[in-house]
Amino acid sequence: MAHIHLEDGAFTPFWLIVWNLIAMLLIGAALMMLKREKVPPSRLTIASMCAAVVFAVFQVEVPTPIGPVHMNFTPLVGILIGPELGAVVVLIVNIFSAAIGHGGWGMVGPNSIVGMVEVTLGYYAFRLLRVRLRRSYFWSGFGATAFALTVSSLLVVFIVGVSEIQGSTLSRTETMSNMLVLAALNIATGIAEGVVTGYVIAFLGRVRPDLLEHHRIPEHDHPRPEPTTEAG
């Protein structure tokens, strides 16, 4: 959901190198983790489907008076396939998005960092709410998504503010202050995405619980029965 919609040349070469280097290191770490574990074909299939769906949804922008917003369901991706494989999906989506003009090529790195934060926080926040606190599928999905997208929206403000936009006369502080308005709009959109994600997770928990097997509550914890409402 949070995305840096800037074209090439917006950041100085120094900051482009910094952010893209950080993204490369994070992707490298994710690939090393995937290499150490045996990823079942079923997870790879789900990851492929997630990449296709996220890329399609990512291109649908909702215009607002202060800029476009969109949903992309990266926290849902993290919940379903984990942060390591989710990082690969985020990178692929950002590369294909840049190829069709959705942000410059230089923004692939910064946007991948933002997306990797979303899949990672979405995954671990969902595990905390579902496994540790034993919340319902809906509230776990909603809470994890809202939290992850709130953090990523503020991260976008930080990245752009620190990097500064070439040709702009605004200081770092002024740039961040102006972007907080857009961040607030993104956070509101993230709450809406959280509701959708919560219902998707609740639906999957009923019809395809195997997709959420790695978030299963241990039987000895005696979890409370899932509510029978649609928000289950």
Contact 90, 115 (CB under 8 A): yes
The pTM of this model reads 0.88
CA 133 – CA 66 distance, rounded (Å): 38
CA 158 – CA 172 distance, rounded (Å): 9
Look over the chain and give the mean of its residue pLDDT values, rounded to a whole number: 88
CB atoms within 10 A of CB 54: 23
Q: Which of 34-48, 62-76, 94-108, 202-216 has the lowest mean pLDDT?
A: 62-76
pLDDT digits (tens, 9 = 90+) for 78-127: 999 999 999 999 999 999 989 988 878 999 999 999 999 999 999 999 99
Residue 78: name the closest of 3, 149, 156 by CA: 149
Q: What domains can you pick out in the chain, each with its CATH number?
A: 13-216 (1.10.1760.20)
Structure tokens at 29: 């770490």
* Residue 219: predicted pLDDT: 65
> How much is the average pLDDT of 206-210?
93
* Residue 232: predicted pLDDT: 45
Contact 4, 91 (CB under 8 A): no
* Residue 230: predicted pLDDT: 47
Structure tokens at 77: 């991706």
pLDDT digits (tens, 9 = 90+) for 12-61: 999 999 999 999 999 999 999 999 888 888 889 999 999 999 999 888 87
